[in-house]
Each structure stands twice: as structure tokens, then as C-alpha cells.
């Protein structure tokens, strides 16, 4: 399967989605920082699975209806940063779905994720990532999990990878930086954590109007 993740930068890149889907033909689309009430029900061959409702800028998930059946959907609120408590930009930072491949009957969990901003500590983001993966494991006990999104984790990724690995997950980065707005903060912000998947390729796509570049992963169930 092919999955694209894209932080729309306060919905500014929403107009790029149709062309992005047409060009790269993904099976799943994970979005962050979108105005969920303004999203279309369909983008090309993809159908809106669900979107968060409690955030000013939320998460959304699209899937190819001819390929997957949606068994269940869940949104998850994570431990809040000081930024969240003061400005209240986001409560639901995970949107996950348990999907079933129509041809093979195999089920898996996919999720769009948006960690706390850079004003928070890495320790809080590590807590959010672990809590998100734990919640997704409850959505599909024993099933493969793929969580893609904006992790806001530009440095000390080796420590994060080791931490995730101890919990049975793998971290996969794309082939180039995904955040380019400020030179000092450039890095791999958008990546994937998974279990039960073989990641064949992960690529950073060209820059659009967002300060994040979209990433596309080609993955297969183990």
C-alpha cells in the first residue's frame, strides 16, 4: 500500500490535495493542521474516513474505498503541553482507523498523528508517541499498526528510535528533510512509526505552500 502524510500548515495547502492524489495515487492519506469542516468527502479515488471535531486545526484520514473496509475509528486526546493549555489549539492529536483489506481480509490500524509543538519538551512528545501507539494497539489488538504524521522531533532521533524499539515499534524516516521554513529548525519532522509492516520506501515529496513537505511511504503487511 502507499500512504501519504501531509501537514497542511493551517489548511493553506488544502488546494494541493487533488493534484497530489492524482499524481501519486495513494491508497491512504493522513492529514494534519486541516480545517476539518472544509474538507471534501472525496479526493480522487479516496473517501474521507473521519476527521477530528474538537480541534481548531485537526486531523483527517482518507482511504481507497475499493481497497479497504473501515471496521472502526477512534480519536485520542494526549497529555497536553503548556502551549495546548494556554492557546488550546489541539486536544485530539491522534486519529486512527482499523481497516480491512477487501481482497485478503487482513486487518490493520493506520493513524494520522500530530505531536505537541517545539515549545514542548522532547520528553512530552515521547510520552505522546507511546500513549498514541498504546491507544492504537487497543483499537486493533495484535494487529499491524502504521502511524504517520508530524512528530515535531527534529533532534535526538536516535534516542527516540531506541525508546520506540523497546516497545516493539520501528521508526522510519524519509530520504530528505520534511520541514524547511526556518534553516535552524530544518529536519525530519514528518515520519512513520510501525509494527507488523515492512517499509519498502519512504520519500519526501516536493515543497508546496506548507512549511512541511508531504511524505509518501510504500509499505506491506508482514
pLDDT digits (tens, 9 = 90+) for 191-209: 999 999 999 999 999 999 9
Average pLDDT score over residue span 19-34: 97
Picking from 92, 96, 55, the residue whose alpha carbon sits closest to that of residue 77 is: 92
pLDDT in tens, 27-68: 999 999 999 999 999 999 999 999 998 777 899 999 999 999
The pLDDT score that the predictor gives to residue 82 is 53
pTM of the model: 0.93
167 — phi, psi (to 5°)?
-100, 10
Q: Residue 109 pLDDT > 80, yes or no?
A: yes
Distance of alpha carbon 71 from alpha carbon 109, whole angstroms:
10
The pLDDT score that the predictor gives to residue 16 is 98
Average pLDDT, the chain: 91
Picking from 215, 201, 182, 1, the residue whose alpha carbon sits closest to that of residue 113 is: 215
| Percent of the chain scoring above 70 in pLDDT | 93
Q: Residue 90 pLDDT > 60, yes or no?
A: no
Q: Residue 79 pLDDT > 70, yes or no?
A: no
Print burial letters for 112-151: b (CB count within 10 Å at least 16), e (below 16).
Answer: bbbbbebebebebbbbbbbbbbebbbebbeebbbbbbbbb
Which SS3 state, helix, strand or coil, does residue 9 take?
coil
The pLDDT score that the predictor gives to residue 180 is 80
Average pLDDT score over residue span 187-193: 93
Q: Residue 83 pLDDT > 60, yes or no?
A: no
Which SS3 state, helix, strand or coil, does residue 205 take?
coil
Please determine, looking at this structure, whether the domain spanning 2-221 carries the CATH number 1.10.1200.10: no
Average pLDDT score over residue span 134-162: 91
Amino acid at each position: 500500500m502507499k500512504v501519504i502524510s501531509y501537514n497542511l500548515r493551517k489548511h493553506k495547502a488544502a488546494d494541493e490535495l487533488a493534484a497530489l492524489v492524482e499524481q501519486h495515487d495513494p491508497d491512504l492519506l493522513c492529514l494534519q493542521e486541516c480545517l476539518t469542516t472544509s474538507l471534501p468527502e472525496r479526493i480522487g479515488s479516496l473517501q474521507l474516513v473521519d476527521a477530528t471535531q474538537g480541534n481548531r486545526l485537526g486531523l483527517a484520514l482518507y482511504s481507497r474505498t475499493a481497497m479497504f473496509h473501515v471496521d472502526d475509528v477512534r480519536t485520542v486526546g494526549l497529555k497536553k503541553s503548556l502551549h495546548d493549555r494556554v492557546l488550546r489549539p489541539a486536544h485530539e492529536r491522534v486519529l486512527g482507523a482499523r481497516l480491512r483489506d477487501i481482497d485478503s481480509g487482513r486487518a490493520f490500524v493506520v493513524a494520522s498523528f500530530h505531536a505537541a509543538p517545539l515549545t514542548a519538551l522532547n520528553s512530552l512528545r515521547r510520552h505522546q508517541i507511546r500513549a498514541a501507539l498504546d491507544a492504537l494497539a487497543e483499537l486493533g489488538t495484535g494487529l499491524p499498526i502504521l502511524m504517520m504524521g508530524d512528530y515535531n522531533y527534529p533532534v535526538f532521533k536516535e534516542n527516540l528510535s531506541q525508546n520506540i524499539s523497546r516497545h516493539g515499534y520501528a521508526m522510519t524516516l524519509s530520504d530528505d528533510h520534511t520541514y524547511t521554513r526556518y534553516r535552524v529548525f530544518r529536519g525530519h519532522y514528518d515520519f512513520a512509526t510501525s509494527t507488523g509492516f515492512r517499509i519498502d520506501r519512504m520519500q519526501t515529496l516536493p515543497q508546496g505552500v506548507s512549511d512541511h513537505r508531504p511524505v509518501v511511504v510504500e509499505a506491506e503487511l508482514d
